[in-house]
Every structure is written in C-alpha cells, then in structure tokens.
C-alpha cells in the first residue's frame, strides 16, 4: 500500500528544521520495518521557505507509517504543528506499474 504523510511546521521553526534536517534525511534514508520511503520533499510557504513536509511511502499498514513518523527527528524536535497519514492510490507516474 502507498501512503502520503503531510506535515505542517509550527510557525517560526525554520531554524529548528535547518538544524535537524540531516538527522531527518538519515531517518528517511533508513526507512523502518514495513516502511519504504519513495519520495519526499519540503512544503514551501509563500516566501519560498520550507514550512512542512510531504513524504510518500510504501508500507504494510498505517500503524507502521505512524510509528515511522513518531521516530522522525523532526517530530522529536517538536517541529510539526500537525500531520496526517493517508492511504493513497498512486496512478500517474507510478514506477511500480
């Protein structure tokens, strides 16, 4: 199954994002049991600054995705104001078809 994670940063947290980015990227690269990160990138605010995250994963279930997200260094740093995990049907541009 595919899932998308959309997370929005708390206001004024750009420095926290920058300071934690290398740990976050290592976490994404490592994946987790039952979770494979396929695509990721920052959401941008109107000024072009990073203000959130979009992550596409292939995972066995939503619980695995939630556990993976809970261990993200961005979460540990208190970066996100909110997040959602949603099942997603990847149609266009899907390299797995």
**Averaged over 90-96, what is the pLDDT?**
81
Handedness of CA 35, 40, 44, 48 (dihedral sign): positive
User: Any idea which residue has 């987790």 for tokens?
Assistant: 32
Q: How far apart are CA 31 and CA 55, in angstroms?
A: 12
pLDDT in tens, 22-77: 999 999 999 999 999 999 999 999 999 999 999 999 999 999 999 999 999 999 99
**Prediction pTM value:** 0.92
Question: At residue 83, does pLDDT exceed 80?
Answer: yes
Question: At residue 96, does pLDDT exceed 80?
Answer: no
């Amino acid at each position: 199954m595919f899932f998308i994670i959309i997370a929005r940063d708390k206001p004024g947290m750009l420095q926290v994002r920058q300071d934690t980015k290398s740990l976050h990227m290592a976490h994404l690269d490592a994946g987790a049991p039952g979770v494979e990160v396929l695509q990721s990138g920052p959401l941008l605010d109107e000024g072009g600054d990073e203000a959130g995250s979009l992550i596409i994963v292939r995972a066995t279930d939503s619980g695995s995705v939630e556990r993976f997200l809970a261990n993200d260094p961005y979460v540990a740093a208190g970066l996100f104001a909110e997040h959602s995990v949603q099942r997603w049907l990847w149609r266009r541009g899907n390299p797995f078809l």
